[in-house]
Copies of this chain bind each other. A is one copy, B any other.
Amino acid sequence: MKELRDAILKQGFGIGHDIVKVDMFLNHRLDIALLTNIGQAFQEAFAGQQVDMILTIEASGIAAAITTAQAFGNLPVIFAKKSKTTSTINRDVYEAKVFSFTHNTENYIRIAKSYLPANANVLIIDDFLANGEAAEGLAEIVRQAGANVVGIGVCIEKGFQAGGQKLRNEGYRVVSLATVTGIENGKLMLAEEKTDA
């Protein structure tokens, strides 16, 4: 997606070998015009499929999830909540364990069962795809609900980490609007734009 690639190249930068810094427009300060276009791009990418709701994870997935839901004509958005502790005693929630490579910690993500009906067609949206732990956790919750993952849309895929390949090998349709292939002296390298996104 051209506007996102331009924003990454003009405003983003890398730190070390694997930190992609884009919080000036994507996940701390939000560029709302760009995010509205991102939602439109996800809608176009998944337009041929039945989508009943958008699923994401707090906090930085919420923005793109909302604009995608708007582009689909105001679908509901559900965002999973994160917690340091498990909630196995609570029978009203679906829960999955998510390992954070960034912080080297385990988190639990959960969703109230009543908001994720069986057989719902769920589009997973997130800001980043790195090792794929968040998307795997969301897909695990969809599976627990007996619902269906239509696909996984991410704004920025870190192509040098394993999550995208892993999810595609598992059969998920993954659409990344931009793919960072590496960091060279603080500069973010992008893959060629694909025609499908």
Q: Is A79 an interface residue (CB 8 A)?
A: yes
The docked-state distance in angstroms from the alpha carbon of A81 to that of B28 is 8
Q: A62 contacts which chain B residues (CB < 8 A)?
A: 59, 62-63, 66
Q: Is A44 an interface residue (CB 8 A)?
A: no
Q: Is A7 an interface residue (CB 8 A)?
A: no
In the complex, how many angstroms separate the beta carbon of A152 from the nearest chain B beta carbon?
19
In the complex, how many angstroms separate the beta carbon of A136 from the nearest chain B beta carbon?
20
Q: Is A106 an interface residue (CB 8 A)?
A: no
- Asked whether A77 lies within 8 Å of B115 as measured between CB atoms, the reply is no
- Asked whether B66 lies within 8 Å of A28 as measured between CB atoms, the reply is no
Q: How many residues of A contact B (CB 8 A)?
A: 29
Q: A31 contacts which chain B residues (CB < 8 A)?
A: 76
Among A67-75, A155-163, A176-184, which stretch is in contact with chain B? Answer: A67-75
In the complex, which residues 48-80 of chain A have their Cβ closer than 8 Å to any Cβ of chain B? 58-59, 62-63, 66-67, 69-70, 74-79
The docked-state distance in angstroms from the alpha carbon of A115 to that of B25 is 10
Q: Is A8 an interface residue (CB 8 A)?
A: no
> How often does this chain occur in the complex, in copies?
2
Would A28 and B115 be within 8 Å (CB), given that A36-B74, A67-B66 are in contact? yes
Q: A112 contacts which chain B residues (CB < 8 A)?
A: 23, 28-29
The docked-state distance in angstroms from the alpha carbon of A67 to that of B63 is 10
- Asked whether B76 lies within 8 Å of A30 as measured between CB atoms, the reply is yes
Q: Is A89 an interface residue (CB 8 A)?
A: no
- Asked whether A29 lies within 8 Å of B78 as measured between CB atoms, the reply is yes
| Chain A residues engaging chain B, CB cutoff 8 angstroms | 23-24, 28-33, 35-36, 58-59, 62-63, 66-67, 69-70, 74-79, 81, 111-112, 114-115
